[in-house]
């Protein structure tokens, strides 16, 4: 005699087999609708792996790096940088590519606004990225944080807009420079 648990288990197995049969007949895999598809919508429009050189500037410090053919970051003298610092550089580049601005302010919106509190005249850090060629792919100037301390003001050279970005992007550049300069 089959008990109640046996009937429930058998019914569950029949439903699962039926679902698998429908998938085989249809040829489609199930779609996981709860997963969010990641799209690159950052200010760096080229793929991160195409970035070959990085220059970081803060106050009177400048740090230049280049990527070798194996993806390692090197100082101008050819020495490889610390692996953890290299990961931070890679993460910062990825963030510039994937993380879009929270808000963009046009030049018209900024007309007549005192931009001194944005701290972009003396940015916390400036990150210049190069791909192939002599012209930078992007120069981003990270200024002060917004009053709530969650976002950071950023300006891109050649772009009249002002961006509010997640503060973690600028902090990743600062952390990489700190790691490389011993701060």
How far is CA 35 from each of CA 32, 92, 116, rounded to the nearest angstrom? 6, 24, 41
In tens, the pLDDT along 74-84 reads 999 999 998 88
Q: Is it the case that residue 3 has pLDDT exceeding 90?
A: no
Q: Is it the case that residue 36 has pLDDT exceeding 60?
A: no
For residue 138, count CB atoms less than 10 angstroms from its CB and return exposed for 0-12, middle for 13-18, buried for 19 or more: buried
CA distance 178 to 28: 50
The pLDDT of residue 122 = 94
In tens, the pLDDT along 109-159 reads 999 999 899 999 999 999 999 998 889 999 999 999 999 999 999 999 999
Q: Is it the case that residue 58 has pLDDT exceeding 60?
A: yes
In tens, the pLDDT along 159-177 reads 999 999 999 999 999 999 9
Whole-structure pTM value: 0.77
Residues, the chain: 183
The pLDDT of residue 45 = 93
User: For the chain, what are the domain ranges?
Assistant: 48-181
Neighbours of 37 (CB within 10 A): 4
pLDDT, averaged across the chain: 88
Mean pLDDT of 23-36: 63
Question: 48-181 — its CATH code?
Answer: 2.60.40
């Amino acid at each position: 005699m089959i008990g109640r648990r046996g009937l429930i288990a058998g019914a569950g197995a029949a439903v699962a087999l039926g679902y698998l049969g429908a998938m085989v007949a249809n040829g489609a895999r199930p779609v996981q609708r709860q997963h969010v598809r990641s799209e690159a919508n950052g200010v760096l429009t080229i793929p991160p792996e195409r970035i070959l050189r990085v220059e970081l500037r803060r106050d009177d410090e400048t740090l230049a790096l280049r990527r070798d053919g194996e993806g390692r970051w090197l100082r101008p003298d050819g020495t490889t940088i610390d692996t953890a610092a290299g990961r931070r550089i890679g993460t910062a580049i990825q963030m510039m590519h994937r993380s879009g601005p929270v808000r963009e302010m046009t030049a018209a919106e900024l007309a007549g606004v005192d931009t001194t509190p944005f701290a972009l005249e003396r940015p916390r850090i400036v990150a210049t990225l190069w791909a192939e060629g002599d012209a930078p792919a992007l120069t981003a100037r990270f200024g002060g944080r917004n009053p709530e301390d969650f976002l950071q003001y950023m300006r891109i050279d050649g772009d009249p807009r002002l961006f509010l970005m997640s503060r973690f992007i600028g902090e990743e550049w600062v952390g990489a420079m700190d790691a490389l300069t011993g701060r």
